[in-house]
């Protein structure tokens, strides 16, 4: 059996689904091949924070593309829910970055400089310890001060990923639940892809495989310095809490997010464990103990959900959005690292532009190609 499509996308995470979405906007057909389900890996387990100013210590602020993607997120929030009926809960959460030791103070001073230089939509107002306590009761008595952050947004990343795929499907895209087992080349072009027992012919190929991109290196003859970074998050209940968390709380070590479903998310760990996606008791202890130092009532928490996922980390912590060397019609979109949800719309739009416009895009990707390796 065989069939054909203009673009075949390997990977049903948010990068692949955003690519399919923007291709569909241009009337270009695509097939997404995903073996586990749309948004089933890291894209569906992220806390979904959209902060173009901060949020990942490495590489720090990724200026142009972060703001470009943040702007695209605002458009998606206005249009995608109405189109698909999938409410991915875009919102402007209240956020506090606090310090409970000297390292934490250094962190908030650094963040203050970033926000002072940023777009006027984003702000960071310094609060002393008493002001922090008035704003969010119940935090550690060790709290030295904090920043009230404004302008950032957040989404349910799993539902956003599914909404992108659904919108593309409504315009003719297809999702195939299967596994790519081989790629067929003719000269310097991809001719077809073996998907399970089926051969799918395509005009262009997009690899949106996250850390599993490493397995495609042998197929296509490229190499990238990528490592899977394992992250674990707890979703907990605080049934007897005296102080309701009204703000998302960040420190230099931990993040604590109250969610709209009543659960509180605590995360995230960072470990290089290869392709191990299992949850660990050590991570549970670390996250609860670290969070308890910030919000003591975590000591009464019960763990409802414990997730683990793998983020695609390139050695410089920057994304990779480019045509694959020596191949005229194969592209790669990966390496969003800890900012993958934020960056996905811009990364996906850039790839769709490059496919439809002879390799050109208005998205700022000049520093995110193979030439830097």
Size of the chain in residues: 373
pLDDT given for residue 222 in this prediction: 87
Question: Tokens at residue 240, please?
Answer: 């007897």
- pLDDT of 24-75, one tens digit each? 999 999 999 999 999 999 999 999 999 998 765 566 557 789 999 999 999 9
> Does residue 200 sit within a domain?
yes
Count of the separate structural domains present in the chain:
2
pLDDT in tens, 151-170: 999 999 999 999 999 999 99
Instruction: Give a yes or no: residue 300 inside a domain.
Output: yes
Q: Comparing C-alpha atoms, which of 133, 341, 158, 337 is closest to residue 249?
A: 133
Domain check: are 266 and 253 in the same one? Answer: yes
**pLDDT confidence bin for 2, thresholds 50/70/90:** confident
| End position of a domain, from candidates 274, 292, 314 | 314
Cα separation of 20 and 167, whole Å? 9
Question: Does residue 90 sit within a domain?
Answer: no
| Strand arrangement of the beta sheet that strand 123-128 belongs to | 123-128, 145-150, 95-99, 248-250, 255-258, 264-267, 226-237, 302-314
Helix runs in 184-334, H state only: 217-220, 281-294
8 shares its domain with 147: no
Q: Give dist(CA 263, CA 121) in Å, integer.
A: 28
Q: Report the percent of the chain where pLDDT is more than 70.
A: 97
Whether 180 contacts 213, CB under 8 Å: no
**Other residues' Cβ atoms within 10 Å of the Cβ of residue 221:** 12
Task: Let me know if 63 is exposed, middle or buried by CB neighbors in 10 A (0-12, 13-18, 19+).
Answer: middle
Yes or no: say if 264 and 235 are a contact pair by the CB < 8 Å rule.
Answer: yes
**Is the residue at 171 inside a domain?**
yes
Q: Does 288 share its domain with 191? A: no
CATH number of the domain that residue 232 is part of? 3.30.9.10
Residues 211 and 268 reside in one and the same domain: no
pLDDT value of position 49:
94
Q: Which residue has the tokens 């402007």?
A: 92
Domain shared by 135 and 265, yes or no = yes
Q: Are residues 70 and 102 in the same domain?
A: no
34 within some domain: yes
Q: What is the pLDDT of residue 59?
A: 62
**145 and 235, same structural domain?**
yes
The domain that holds 188 is classified in CATH as 3.50.50.60
**Per-residue pLDDT tens over the stretch 314-348:** 999 999 999 999 899 999 999 999 999 999 999 99
Separation CA 66–CA 50 (nearest Å): 9
* 72/354 Cα distance (integer angstroms): 17
Among 317, 339, 280, which residue's Cα sits nearest to residue 152?
Answer: 339
206 and 164 in a single domain? The answer is yes
Q: Are strands 30-33 and 189-195 parallel, antiparallel or unpaired?
A: unpaired
pLDDT of residue 241: 73
- Residue 277 and residue 310 in contact, taking contact as beta carbons nearer than 8 Å: yes
CA distance 310 to 313: 9
Percent of the chain's residues with pLDDT above 90: 90
One-character DSSP codes across 210-245: GGGGGGGHHHHT----EEEEEEEEEEEE-TT-SS--
- What residue numbers bound the domain in which 269 lies? 95-152+227-314
Q: Is the pLDDT of residue 218 over 90?
A: no
What is the reported pLDDT for 260?
86
Task: Report the alpha-carbon distance of residue 91 to residue 75 in Å, rounded.
Answer: 13
- Which tokens is 157 given? 């990343």
The answer to whether residue 255 sits within a structural domain is: yes
Same domain, residue pair 58 and 71: yes
Q: What is the pLDDT of residues 117-149, one digit of tens each?
A: 888 999 999 999 999 999 999 999 999 999 999
Determine the distance from the C-alpha atom of residue 234 to the mean position of all C-alpha atoms in its chain, rounded to a whole number: 17
Tell me the average pLDDT of the chain: 95
Within a domain: 363? yes
Residue 116 inside a domain? The answer is: yes
- Kindly give, in sequence order, each residue whose CB lies less than 8 Å from that of residue 128, ignoring residues fewer than 6 positions away: 145
Average pLDDT for 79-104 = 97
Together in a domain, 137 and 234? yes
For residue range 259-304, list pLDDT tens digits in order.
Answer: 988 899 999 999 999 999 999 999 999 999 999 999 999 999 999 9
């Amino acid at each position: 059996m065989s069939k054909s499509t203009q673009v075949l996308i390997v990977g049903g995470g948010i990068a692949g689904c955003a690519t399919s979405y923007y291709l569909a906007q241009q009337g270009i057909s695509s097939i997404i091949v995903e073996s586990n389900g749309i948004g089933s890996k890291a894209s569906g387990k992220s806390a979904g924070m959209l902060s173009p100013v901060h949020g990942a210590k490495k590489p720090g602020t990724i200026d142009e593309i972060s703001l470009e993607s943040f702007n695209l997120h605002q458009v998606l929030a206005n249009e995608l829910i109405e189109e698909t009926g999938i409410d991915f809960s875009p919102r402007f959460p209240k956020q506090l970055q606090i310090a409970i030791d000297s390292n934490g103070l250094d962190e908030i001073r650094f963040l203050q400089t970033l926000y002072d230089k940023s777009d006027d939509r984003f702000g960071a107002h310094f609060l002393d310890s008493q002001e922090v306590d008035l704003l969010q009761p119940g935090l550690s008595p060790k709290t030295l001060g904090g920043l009230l952050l404004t302008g950032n947004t957040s989404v349910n990343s799993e539902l956003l990923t599914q909404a992108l795929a659904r919108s593309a499907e409504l315009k003719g895209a297809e999702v195939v639940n299967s596994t790519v087992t081989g790629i067929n080349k003719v000269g310097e072009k991809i001719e077809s892809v073996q998907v399970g027992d089926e051969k799918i012919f395509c005009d262009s190929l997009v690899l949106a495989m996250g850390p599993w991109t490493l397995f495609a290196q042998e197929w296509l003859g490229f190499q990238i310095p990528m490592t899977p970074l394992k992250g674990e998050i707890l979703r907990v209940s605080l049934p007897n809490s005296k102080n309701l968390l009204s703000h998302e709380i960040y420190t230099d070590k931990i993040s604590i997010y109250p969610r709209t479903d009543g659960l509180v998310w605590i995360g995230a760990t960072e470990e290089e464990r290869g392709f191990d996606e299992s949850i660990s008791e050590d991570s549970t202890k670390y996250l609860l103990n670290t969070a308890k130092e910030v919000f003591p009532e975590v000591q009464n928490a019960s763990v409802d959900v414990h997730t683990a996922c793998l983020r695609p980390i390139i050695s410089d912590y920057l994304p990779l959005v480019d045509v694959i060397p020596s191949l005229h019609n194969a592209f790669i979109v990966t390496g969003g690292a800890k900012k993958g949800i934020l960056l996905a719309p811009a990364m996906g739009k850039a790839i769709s532009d490059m496919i439809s416009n002879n390799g050109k895009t208005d998205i700022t990707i000049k520093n995110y190609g193979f030439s830097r390796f």
